[in-house]
Chain A
Amino acid sequence: MIRIAAVGDVHVDKDVVGRYRPALEELPDRADTLLIAGDLTRHGTVDEAKCFATEFGGLGVPVVVVLGNHDHQSDQQDDVTKVIEDAGITVLEGSATVLELNGHRLGVAGTKGFGGGFAGACASNFGEREMKDFVGTAERYAEDLERALKSVECDALVALTHYAPVPETLVGEPLEIYAFLGCYQLGRSIDAAGAALALHGHAHAGSERGRTPGGVPVRNVAHPVIKQAYNVYQLLSEEVDTTLVGAR
């Protein structure tokens, strides 16, 4: 059995340091790892990254993250990544890691992803250079995710993105902005690799549960959606146990 804690869109800055920590201190009793689905900071500055590292570092379980669009706002994403990695946190972008947990190998592949829309309402690689750049960017992130997912050998595989791979977990958001919240190419990559679970954030007003066209469970773990410090998902269960150890 592996228990995965997950949250996204924590948007840490000085005013948030300490808010998550009481729940995070309990995390090792409740889960084997923590995955964070992007938007770690407000504006993507080095100072904010240090605040994130302070809040989410040194937990006693492996922490794996992807960046989100907010983490790119100041064009300092490389410096932000370094600060977070220096705190012992793994940052994925078109890459993967394997965690040895409870005798199992958990593979996690991640990317920020990008927008573009979904079947029936998606952007096409056509016309102005700006539009082709937009769609080409989405395709590149999806291709990198698929390559990363297929690169690992493990007992269970999780896809971690910031942008959504399916429209079902966007329900609650205005239809007009779906194309800025995710793209179908991410879902196609997840199906091609056969993941056990896909986690994303970004859609604060979206819904928690969906599935890819190929049937992979998708969970939107944006903090305003789950409304707690993190959710916990159980994979590779020997038996179903929905009570958390240490829960009060």
Chain B
Amino acid sequence: MTNDTDLEAEIQRLLTEHDRIAEQGITVQRRDHLIVLGGEVESAQRRDEICRQISSHFPELEITCDIGITRAQAPSEVEEIS
């Protein structure tokens, strides 16, 4: 079993290196009795796969997911560059 010190590193590497995830922008934060996942991904399927894989690899962990889906609407403003 992964020790507590290395837990965040193990999760980060899983999320980056797993061939169905490949996410490098997910944050992993510890609370008293759970792990909070943050950041944004491009689809709900990707968010759900992240939670599924962490639960599968670390069944002893209680996780809560604050991962958002990045909005993709057109902009309403332009920035003048000078």
Contacts and interface: CB of A to CB of B under 8 A. Distances in A.
Contact of A11 (B27, B39, B42, B78): B42
B1 interface: no
Contact of B43 (A16, A27, A230): A16
B42 A10 contact: yes
Tell me which of A16, A22, A241 has the highest count of chain B C-beta atoms within 10 A of its own C-beta: A16
Given A15-B43, A42-B22, A229 B73 contact: yes
A224 interface: yes
Contact of A244 (B45, B70, B76): B76
Interface string A226-248: 01111111110100111110011
A147 interface: no
Contacts of A10: 42
A41 B4 CA distance: 33
A205 interface: yes
A232 B25 contact: no
A10 B45 CA distance: 15
B25 A204 contact: yes
Contact of B39 (A12, A42, A204, A240): A204
By DSSP majority rule, is chain B's interface helix, strand, loop, or mixed? loop
A247 B76 CA distance: 5
B35 to A, nearest CB: 17
A23 B70 CA distance: 14
Contacts of A237: 80, 82
A247 B39 contact: no
A23 B77 CA distance: 13
Contacts of B42: 10-12, 15-16, 19, 223
Given A10-B42, A227-B70, A247-B75, 18 more contacts: A15-B45, A16-B42, A20-B72, A43-B19, A43-B22, A196-B81, A204-B24, A205-B27, A223-B70, A223-B72, A224-B40, A224-B70, A230-B74, A232-B77, A233-B80, A235-B81, A244-B77, A247-B74
28 contacts: A3-B78, A10-B42, A12-B42, A15-B43, A19-B42, A22-B74, A26-B74, A27-B74, A73-B22, A204-B39, A205-B39, A223-B72, A224-B40, A228-B75, A230-B74, A231-B79, A232-B79, A233-B81, A234-B79, A234-B80, A240-B80, A241-B78, A242-B77, A244-B78, A247-B74, A247-B75, A247-B76, A248-B76
Interface of B: 19, 22, 24-25, 27, 39-40, 42-43, 45-46, 70-82
Q: Top 8 closest A-B pairs, CB basis? A: A204-B25, A23-B74, A232-B78, A224-B40, A15-B43, A247-B76, A229-B72, A15-B45
